[in-house]
Structure 1
Amino acid sequence: MKASDSSSLKKHAASTRQGFALPAVLTVTGVVTLIFLVAITALSSLTAEAASARARVRFLQNALTAEANLTLLAVTEPIRSSAIAIGAPRIVDLFSGAEGNASNLEQGFIQLDGRPYAFDLSGKMIVQVQDQAGLINLASLSEEQHKRLMQAVGVEDAEIPRLRARYLDYVDPDNLRRVDGAEQRDYSDMSAANRPLKTPNEWLSVLGARNSVDADKWRKLSPHLASDHTLLNANLNTSTKEAMEILFGLDEKQSEAAINARSKLMFNSFTDFAAATGARYVPDDEVSYVFPSGRMIFTIKDTRSAWTYRGRVILTPGGLEQPFWIDQTELKEAPRRAAADTSDATQFPYAPR
């Protein structure tokens, strides 16, 4: 082989290697860049999850502190028809009106009608307290009240009797099916409870209920629902507007009239309520309409995150070893991850230091 041919081959080989070097470098660079992007995305996701976890822990710690403060006041301070009366004298004799000593706390009221209170604890929180007797108790609804409830959450009129029968079959202890009802054998997973509802949202577990309601209407009404088969009374002095409309058949104008009237002078009887609103509801002689239930549902929200904590305090004055219970607690994020609004909140009247 001539020297010129050998030189030509070397140049050709060199040019061939140089031609393939750039795509290879670009490929390697692309793979390395992709690895870095995946790592950065994963790190960003982990950072966000860690921040969310820290916010959750911080909120829960503050919420439990607020829960403890609220429970202390509920257990140790006098409870009137519409409020916890902080610093008020304790009534010793309900019949003579004799009063005992007041606590040395600054006087104030925590109204039991669900109004928002701003609670300062490393940032503002919102605390709402609602007497359970002021809500719509699913466990004690009459047929007419149940009908109004279902209409309010968007159930079609033709479906109401069937859904009512299925609800009654769901909560009764037997396996006898009503006309248009449904017992355990009618549920694909045999999930009919045959016991009272534990929570209001369990109502949606009744066969066909979830598909019959308007989800947005249910979500809007659900804060005004309760389920407690041991509680019969309704408290007109703490009832929400929505509860009065479902329970007593009031329209919006009448329910607003009730709230305005009781803000000036609490109702002492259903007669007072009827006079202020024109309600045509016939009261049950065995039901109390103006006394607190000793069951308080509280909601605690955060202004720095979307977390919400909800639970119930049950007072048991006769239980010396267990003067109160806290149950039905749940921690969840607010719809649309919205933080609490303090614009219409009044200051929580007392917090232990």
Structure 2
Amino acid sequence: MSFTDMPGKRQQGFILAATLWLIAFITVAGAYLAQWAGDARQQIASQQQGLQAEIDYQGTLATLLYLINTQYINEYGIILTELSTEQKEAAILGMGMGLKQSDGNFIKLYDQAYQGMGESLFSVQDESGLIAANTSDPIHLKYLLGLSGLNVTQRNDGIAKLLDYEDPDNLHRINGAEAQQYRQQGKQGPANRLLLTSWELHNILDWDKYPKLWENNLPRLTSSSWEDWPNFNVAPKQVLQTSMGLTQEDAEKIVQARKQIPITELGQLYQIVGRALNIDVLSFSPRPSNFFRVSLWHRQTGRVREIHLELHPRILEKDLLLKTTRPWRLDYQLDFSKTAEQQDAQPKQLKTDLFNSGGSKAKRSETSNFAVPQ
């Protein structure tokens, strides 16, 4: 190779290197742009999905509130069928109405999943079926802690800390906790007032040391609104087992029996379980309350919206009471991850076109009736 050939070869080498670098840059840039475009498409799809879910939520909630405030409600649930004059009077007096039990004719008040607008699902839980967290004698809550695996000492300590969290003074019970004990663990509290939501149970000192409580969805089994014995018509199985003398098998019997006919008296309950129970007759009430928890979730998202309502006045007795300008009050609303039950829920279809949002798969039964009571 002569000296005169070197500049040309150097130039060719430079061009080759530059070309390789350019190709590498274009490849990296192309991969980056493809990744960016993919992320952008995914983000847009997620936003559209979230927007559609919100539209479905709002439509479902508005329809449900309409039904709650226009239809009769009794032990069967929110009644969707047209009632005769005699049946309306019987509903007000708490008497049998001769209604045929059908899941499509009623919105059940024990967290049954139903198809809402679009791809949304919803359920309604009468909070009278939940365990009172704001009470001076939380006997049912203590039993529930036991069902979650806490021994007697842990249950007593937990209840003592709950009562200290709620009472207005700074004197702590034996094994309870006031401000000093919270500060020692670097935590804020106690609130020295009643719980505002059942999810506030997370804030009680040492309750986070028992993961089984939260695995069993403790906040969804308790209520900050209800203060009486759980209603057997709408209580979950775990709550039923907190009533003295009821076993898991008894609870299952009650759940299956109330699907056929509501429980209206203690004698009927005794027949179901096959024996008398140690239940205070004055505490027994089969009637629905005016505190409802509405849950909304979507098939395509991982979130659920929980809405707590107080109805004004009690809708079941609305024909006997003066109407107010505010038929309901929103106590609070929360968004959180779906529970396993909601993720696997098999929703039932109601016999009303009100949840048929255009392209809904649901078809109204030709034999079903829907009318707003006058």
Contact 2:178 2:189 in 1 (8 A): no
Q: Which one has the largest radius of gyration? A: 1
Work out the CA distance in 1 between the residues paired with 2:240 and 2:268: 14
> Which residue in 2 is equivalent to 1:90?
88
> Which residue in 2 is equivalent to 1:334?
338
Contact 1:125 1:340 in 2 (8 A): no
> Which residue in 2 is equivalent to 1:50?
44
Give aligned-pair identity as a percent.
22
> Which residue in 2 is equivalent to 1:239?
235
> Which residue in 2 is equivalent to 1:125?
120
1:75, distance to aligned residue in structure 2 (A): 1.1
Higher strand share: 1
1:291, distance to aligned residue in structure 2 (A): 1.3
Contact 1:82 1:113 in 2 (8 A): no
Q: How does 1:193-342 map to 2 (within 5 A)?
A: 193-214=191-212, 218-222=214-218, 224-229=220-225, 231-277=227-273, 282-284=278-280, 286-317=282-313, 320-334=324-338, 341-342=345-346
Secondary structure of 1:112's aligned partner:
coil
Q: Which amino acid aligns with 1:111?
A: K
Work out the CA distance in 2 between the residues paired with 1:98 and 1:179: 50
Higher relative contact order (CA 8 A, sep 6+): 2
The 10-residue stretch of structure 1 (158-167 or 12-21) with the greater mean CA deviation from structure 2: 12-21
**Residue 169 of structure 2 is aligned to residue 167 of structure 1:** no
> Which residue in 2 is equivalent to 1:348?
350
How many equivalent residue pairs?
334
Contact 1:302 1:339 in 2 (8 A): no
- Normalised by the length of structure 1, the TM-score is 0.81
> Which residue in 2 is equivalent to 1:26?
20
Work out the CA distance in 2 between the residues paired with 1:280 and 1:210: 37
Question: For 1:45-65, what per-residue CA distance to the aligned partner results, in whole angstroms no more than 9, with x for missing partners?
Answer: 222122111111111111111
> Which residue in 2 is equivalent to 1:110?
107
1:250, distance to aligned residue in structure 2 (A): 2.2
1:277, distance to aligned residue in structure 2 (A): 2.0
Give the gaps of 5 or more residues in structure 2. Answer: 98-103, 314-321, 357-374
The 10-residue stretch of structure 1 (275-284 or 323-332) with the greater mean CA deviation from structure 2: 275-284
Question: For 1:113-142, what per-residue CA distance to the aligned partner results, in whole angstroms no more than 9, with x for missing partners?
Answer: 2222223x3x34322112111123322484
Taking only aligned residues, the RMSD between alpha carbons, in angstroms, comes to 3.2
Contact 2:110 2:234 in 1 (8 A): yes
Work out the CA distance in 2 between the residues paired with 1:41 and 1:114: 42
**Gap change, CA 1:49 and 1:114, over 3 Å in 2:** same
**Gap change, CA 1:290 and 1:198, over 3 Å in 2:** same
Question: For 1:92-114, what per-residue CA distance to the aligned partner results, in whole angstroms no more than 9, with x for missing partners?
Answer: 89569799xxxxxxx92222122
Q: Which amino acid aligns with 2:175?
A: D
Work out the CA distance in 1 between the residues paired with 2:32 and 2:153: 55
- Normalised by the length of structure 2, the TM-score is 0.77
Quick one: which of 165, 168, 171 aligns to 1:176? 171
Work out the CA distance in 2 between the residues paired with 1:140 and 1:10: 101
1:167, distance to aligned residue in structure 2 (A): 1.5
Give the gaps of 5 or more residues in structure 1. Answer: 1-6, 100-106
Quick one: which of 144, 150, 167 aligns to 2:145? 150
Contact 1:71 1:313 in 2 (8 A): no
Work out the CA distance in 2 between the residues paired with 1:50 and 1:295: 38
Q: Which amino acid aligns with 2:190?
A: A
